[in-house]
């Protein structure tokens, strides 16, 4: 059953979720629909979005909006469609993203560009498109999924880490600009969560076919991670780390004892 306090926060709010067809985005749809939110579900695959929508509570109240985040014109057109047909969103969850698995000297430049386009530039584009409506209304909440890898660089994920570091910087700047205009900005920094992100990376060519990822397989359950996400957003946290144990302590260790974290990440194996 939904937490009563969270329900009071999200009930009847118009919430746009990108990356809604799987992983954290999919679970956000299920949890927020139970709290009475009206959802806009975006990802590339219409059939998967319809599957998620139909599994949500009150599916008829939610809108499927297929969207290729790598296509800037598609993002702009989608944002215009939302503004014209549904109005200004109350919450934007920037959750679309892709990972990468390869050594730096084995990674093509095209992979760096693709990962940066999706994990950074597309988030900037969609945020800038919804921002004027929120500013005009004097309210709104922008939530973007970065990663602990946006705070600590780790091996085999140089493109991913770079993009996640970049979006944290953008969100910090955004927060400083809108703090007195009624808007709220939350940056999510999850650790490893049990999603199909590595399968997507293999399909998109940003991870080798043979690569498995035991750290993801052994990560936090997605429903547990999303519960922490929604608690943080409801409490208007500015940046939140969603992880446990040594992983969750990593950013603190880096700040206090940087040489220790550098030695720790060197021990991370490819599998």
Catalytic residues: 160
The Cα-based distances of 112 to 101, 106, 115, 123, 254 in angstroms read 11, 11, 5, 16, 25
Backbone conformation region of residue 19, classed left if phi is above 0, alpha if psi is from -120 to 50, else beta: left
- Give the separation between CA 61 and CA 198, rounded to whole angstroms: 32
Contact indicator for 188, 134 with CB cutoff of 8 Å = no
The Cα-based distances of 48 to 25, 26, 63, 74, 99 in angstroms read 12, 10, 13, 18, 20
The residues, ordered by sequence, that sit 6+ positions from 148 with a Cβ below 8 Å of its Cβ are 189, 190, 191, 241, 243, 247, 248, 250, 251
Structure tokens at 100: 């990468």
The Cα-based distances of 270 to 21, 146, 155 in angstroms read 27, 21, 8
- Give the separation between CA 51 and CA 192, rounded to whole angstroms: 25
Tell me, rounded to whole angstroms, the distance of Cα 248 from its chain centroid: 18
- Give the separation between CA 76 and CA 93, rounded to whole angstroms: 16
């Amino acid at each position: 059953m939904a937490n009563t306090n969270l329900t009071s926060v999200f009930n009847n709010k118009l919430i746009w979720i990108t990356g809604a067809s799987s992983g954290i985005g999919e679970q956000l749809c299920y949890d927020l629909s139970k709290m009475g939110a009206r959802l806009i579900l975006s990802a590339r695959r219409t059939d998967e979005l319809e599957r998620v929508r139909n599994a949500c509570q009150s599916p008829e109240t939610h809108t499927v909006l297929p969207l290729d985040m790598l296509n800037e014109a598609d993002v702009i057109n989608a944002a215009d469609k939302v503004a014209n047909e549904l109005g200004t969103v109350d919450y934007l969850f920037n959750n679309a993203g892709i990972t990468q698995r390869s050594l730096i000297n084995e990674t093509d430049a095209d992979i760096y560009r693709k990962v940066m386009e999706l994990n950074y530039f597309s988030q900037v584009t969609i945020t800038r498109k919804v921002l004027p409506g929120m500013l005009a209304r004097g309210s709104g909440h922008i939530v973007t999924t970065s990663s602990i890898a946006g705070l600590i660089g780790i091996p085999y994920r140089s493109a991913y880490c770079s993009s996640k570091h970049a979006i944290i910087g953008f969100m910090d700047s955004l927060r400083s600009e809108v703090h007195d205009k009624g808007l709220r900005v939350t940056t999510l920094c999850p650790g490893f969560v049990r999603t199909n992100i590595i399968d997507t990376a293999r399909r998109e060519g940003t991870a080798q076919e043979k690569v498995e990822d035991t750290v993801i397989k052994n990560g936090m359950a997605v429903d547990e991670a999303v519960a922490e996400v929604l608690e943080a957003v409801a409490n208007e946290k500015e940046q939140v780390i969603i992880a446990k144990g040594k992983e969750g302590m990593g950013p603190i260790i880096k700040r206090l004892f940087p040489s220790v974290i550098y030695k720790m990440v060197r021990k991370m194996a490819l599998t």
